[in-house]
């Protein structure tokens, strides 16, 4: 008996025979790591109503979990036998091994509706596994459409099921500010709701005249962070400034460059309204980013920095005088003031800092990690400049693009001929083939992006994320091979997705 594992392990050998498990499943595990076994127990209880009994070292058990310090931090070894043995050097490694054990059982182990299962059969197998990349992420835009805590936590569970370990939350944009900041209350009071949104494709020019809003309180974000920690997923919060700031300016007009009052933007695209470069705006940027960072004390923080139009700065006499003070010749250099201010404040507080690849257009503060979205070539450029990079090229990893060229696909951001099939995602190389191998260590990993202009519901989020995210998980785990090898495993895997209630896109749709 074999099972379609995703992501595929680095080494696997099926032995003959199977073992049968019944409830209560007896697990022997060190005191320190019990939390991991408890999470696994809660998962089994939810899916098949089983309980997990934690037993002492040396007691009779079904699964024995042992520390093996020489393994890499997320690595693990499994040997399924009458007494199954799991070895890892960290709780994350144990959690991943338990995910694999769950995949070695039937799809019902993933069900979100409990079913009564008397016994499960698991193939005898030996596995040695561990990821090739430390950064295996998903980005979620909660600004264009807001997703509540429950939906985000469910997405975290889905990431963990694929052994992905970062969730980058895009918390503000022109169309909505999504986090309560006590010292700037109008951001959530005013900036979190827009009056109307486009219906269908933005280019159709139709509006729904229906307010859309939502924001997270500090305690909401804390529960997301706790849930994520339990699943070994690190939340990477993003505050995107000084561009993409219209919602912030709608809340605090004094932070903008124009005197007319602005509303939270009701169209998609890139607003020309950006923060002014005055001292108050710089102070604002530092203040909010530090506050958000304080809610995620152990996380790297993303400071945005993409797509910042300079037209308002070019037309503002105040901005011109700031340019003269700094000896700048081009308005775009003004953005560097925000980059530096936010990055140095965050670094002082011990946070690693990330930014979109537009920061490469100017001098990049040392130690900043570049998220390369315009193309893999931007990642190569970053690595050549000695910077670490997270690969996120839109051509492969923007899951807001069409799933295929079928005319039946729901409206998506990029129109045909742009489509990103799961097969295309599966063919993505995290390390660009033209990168000098000596610089490959700069590639931390990769992340897929779910921008949400055209994603309004949880079901549609599922449809855009899966099965592409399953293909991505294997790519970024580092074990992708051929489509012929992957496809039958994916066919089994979508049964797990179905059990989890995921509205994934079917693997084949007539084109
Ligand atoms: C570009 S990627 C953006 C987003 C859009 C996205 C749509 C990036 C840093 N900025 O503002 O939502 O394209 O695909």
Residue 248 lies in a domain: yes
Mean pLDDT in residue range 472-501 = 98
Residue nearest to atom 8 of ligand 1 (CA): 306
511 pLDDT more than 60: no
Chain-centre distance for alpha carbon 195? 28
pLDDT in tens, 411-438: 999 888 899 999 999 999 999 999 999 9
Same domain, 114 and 158: no
- Dihedral (Cα; 335, 337, 342, 346), 10-degree rounding: 130
Residue 378 lies in a domain: yes
In whole angstroms, give the CA distance from residue 447 to residue 390.
7
Backbone dihedral angles phi then psi of residue 245, each to the nearest 5 degrees: -115, 15
In whole angstroms, give the CA distance from residue 110 to residue 55.
24
Domain that residue 447 falls in: 135-482
Percentage of the chain exceeding pLDDT 90: 94
Reply yes or no: is the peptide bond before residue 455 cis, omega within 30 of 0.
no
Backbone dihedral angles phi then psi of residue 356, each to the nearest 5 degrees: -65, 160
In whole angstroms, give the CA distance from residue 495 to residue 362.
48
What pLDDT score does 179 carry?
A: 98
Same domain, 37 and 108: yes
Establish whether 307 is a catalytic residue. Answer: yes
CATH of the domain at 74: 3.30.379.10
Give the domain-ending residue among 74, 99, 129: 129
Across the beta sheet with 84-88, the strand order is 11-22, 119-129, 76-79, 84-88, 63-67, 25-28, 52-55
509 pLDDT more than 80: no
- Dihedral (Cα; 139, 142, 148, 152), 10-degree rounding: 0
Same domain, 469 and 378: yes
Reply yes or no: is the peptide bond before residue 7 cis, omega within 30 of 0.
yes
Q: 266: CA distance to ligand 1 center in Å? A: 16
Establish whether 240 is a catalytic residue. Answer: no
Q: 61: CA distance to ligand 1 center in Å? A: 51
Same domain, 474 and 426: yes
Same domain, 121 and 175: no
CATH of the domain at 280: 3.20.20.80
Residue 502 lies in a domain: no
Same domain, 211 and 125: no
Residue nearest to atom 5 of ligand 1 (CA): 451
Q: Which strand (E) or helix (H) includes residue 168?
A: strand 166-170
For 32, residues 6+ apart whose C-beta sits below 8 A from its C-beta are: none
Q: 355: CA distance to ligand 1 center in Å? A: 13
- Domain count for the chain: 2
What pLDDT score does 58 carry?
A: 85
Q: Ligand 1 site: residues with CB under 6 angstroms?
A: 306-307, 356, 373, 398, 400, 413, 451, 453
When the pLDDT of each residue in the chain is averaged and rounded to a whole number, the result is 96
What pLDDT score does 307 carry?
A: 86
Residue 75 lies in a domain: yes
Kind of pairing between the strands at 212-213 and 193-194: antiparallel
What pLDDT score does 114 carry?
A: 86
What pLDDT score does 262 carry?
A: 97
DSSP-assigned beta bridge partners for residue 445: 135, 390
Residue 102 lies in a domain: yes
Q: 140: CA distance to ligand 1 center in Å? A: 11
Residue 501 lies in a domain: no
Same domain, 299 and 233: yes
Annotated active-site residue in 307, 314, 347, 492: 307
In angstroms, what CA-CA distances link 139 with 8, 152, 382, 505? 23, 11, 20, 19
Residue 369 lies in a domain: yes
**65's tokens:** 């979990």
What pLDDT score does 57 carry?
A: 85
Three-class SS state of 421: coil
Q: If pLDDT is split at 50, 70 and 90, which confidence band does 510 have?
A: low
What 224-231 contacts at long range (C-beta under 8 Å, 24+ apart), as own/partner pairs, is 224/149, 224/152, 224/153, 224/156, 225/295, 225/296, 227/153, 227/156, 228/153, 228/156, 228/167, 230/35, 230/39, 231/39, 231/95, 231/156, 231/157, 231/159, 231/160
Residue 487 lies in a domain: no
**432's tokens:** 């660009």
Judged by average pLDDT, the poorest of 170-174, 305-309, 451-455, 494-498 is: 305-309
Same domain, 88 and 218: no
pLDDT in tens, 269-293: 999 999 999 999 999 999 999 999 9
Same domain, 66 and 147: no
Establish whether 222 is a catalytic residue. Answer: no
Same domain, 21 and 159: no
Residue nearest to atom 13 of ligand 1 (CA): 451
Give the domain-ending residue among 129, 164, 192: 129
Q: Which ligand 1 atom is at minimum distance from the Cα of 451?
A: 12
Same domain, 189 and 277: yes
Percentage of the chain exceeding pLDDT 70: 100
In angstroms, what CA-CA distances link 282 with 178, 285, 340? 20, 5, 10
Give the domain-ending residue among 129, 150, 170: 129
What pLDDT score does 69 carry?
A: 98
pLDDT in tens, 81-133: 999 999 999 999 999 999 999 999 999 999 988 888 999 999 999 999 999 99
Same domain, 117 and 197: no
Mean pLDDT in residue range 179-194 = 98
C-alpha atoms less than 13 angstroms from C-alpha of 460 in its C-beta half-sphere: 17
Q: Where are the alpha helices (DSSP H) in 73-215?
A: 91-104, 149-161, 186-189
pTM for the predicted model, two decimal places: 0.98
What pLDDT score does 361 carry?
A: 84
Query: CB of 169 within 8 A of CB of 235?
Result: yes
């Amino acid at each position: 008996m074999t099972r379609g594992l995703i992501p595929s392990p680095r080494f696997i050998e099926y032995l003959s025979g199977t073992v049968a498990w019944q409830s209560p499943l007896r697990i022997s595990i060190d005191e320190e790591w019990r939390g991991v076994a408890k999470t696994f127990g809660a998962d089994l209880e939810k899916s098949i109503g089983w309980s997990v009994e934690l037993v002492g070292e040396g007691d009779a058990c079904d699964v024995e979990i042992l520390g093996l310090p020489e393994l890499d931090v997320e690595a693990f070894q499994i040997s399924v036998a009458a007494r199954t043995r799991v070895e890892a050097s960290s709780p994350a490694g144990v959690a991943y091994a338990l995910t694999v054990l769950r995949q070695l059982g039937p799809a019902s182990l993933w069900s979100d509706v409990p079913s009564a299962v008397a016994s499960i059969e698991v193939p005898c197998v030996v596995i040695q596994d561990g990821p090739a990349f430390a950064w295996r992420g998903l980005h979620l835009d909660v600004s264009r459409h807001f997703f509540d805590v429950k939906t985000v936590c469910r997405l975290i569970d889905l990431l963990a099921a694929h052994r992905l370990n970062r969730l980058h939350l895009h918390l503000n944009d022109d169309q909505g500010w999504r986090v309560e900041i006590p010292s700037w209350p109008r951001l959530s009071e005013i900036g979190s709701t827009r009056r109307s949104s486009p219906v269908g494709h933005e280019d159709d020019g139709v509006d729904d005249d229906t307010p859309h809003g939502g924001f997270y309180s500090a305690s909401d974000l804390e529960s997301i962070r706790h849930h994520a920690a339990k699943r070994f997923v690190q939340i990477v919060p993003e505050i995107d400034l000084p561009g993409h700031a219209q919602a912030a300016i709608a809340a605090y007009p004094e932070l903008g460059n124009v005197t007319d009052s602005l509303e939270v933007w009701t169209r998609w695209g890139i607003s020309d309204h950006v923060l002014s470069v005055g001292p108050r705006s710089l102070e604002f940027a530092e203040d909010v980013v530090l506050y958000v960072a304080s809610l995620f004390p152990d996380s790297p923080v993303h400071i945005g920095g993409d797509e910042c139009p300079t037209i308002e700065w070019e037309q503002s006499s105040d901005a011109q005088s700031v340019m003269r003070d700094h000896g700048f010749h081009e308005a775009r250099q003004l953005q560097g003031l925000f980059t530096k201010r936010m990055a140095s404040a965050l670094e002082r507080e011990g946070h690693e800092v990330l930014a979109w690849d537009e920061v490469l257009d100017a001098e990049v503060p040392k130690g900043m990690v570049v998220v390369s979205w315009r193309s893999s070539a931007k990642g190569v450029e970053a690595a050549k400049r000695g910077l670490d990079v997270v690969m996120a090229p839109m051509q492969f990893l923007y899951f807001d693009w069409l799933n295929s060229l079928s005319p039946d696909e729901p409206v998506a951001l990029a129109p045909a001929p742009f489509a990103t099939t799961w097969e295309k995602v599966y063919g993505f190389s995290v390390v660009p083939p033209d990168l000098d191998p000596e610089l490959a260590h700069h590639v931390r990993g990769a992340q897929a992006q779910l921008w949400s202009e055209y994603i309004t519901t949880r079901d549609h989020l599922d449809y855009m994320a899966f099965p592409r995210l399953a293909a991505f998980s294997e790519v970024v785990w580092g074990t992708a091979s051929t489509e012929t090898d992957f496809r039958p495993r994916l066919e089994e895997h979508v049964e797990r997705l179905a059990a989890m209630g995921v509205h994934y896109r079917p693997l084949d749709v007539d084109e």
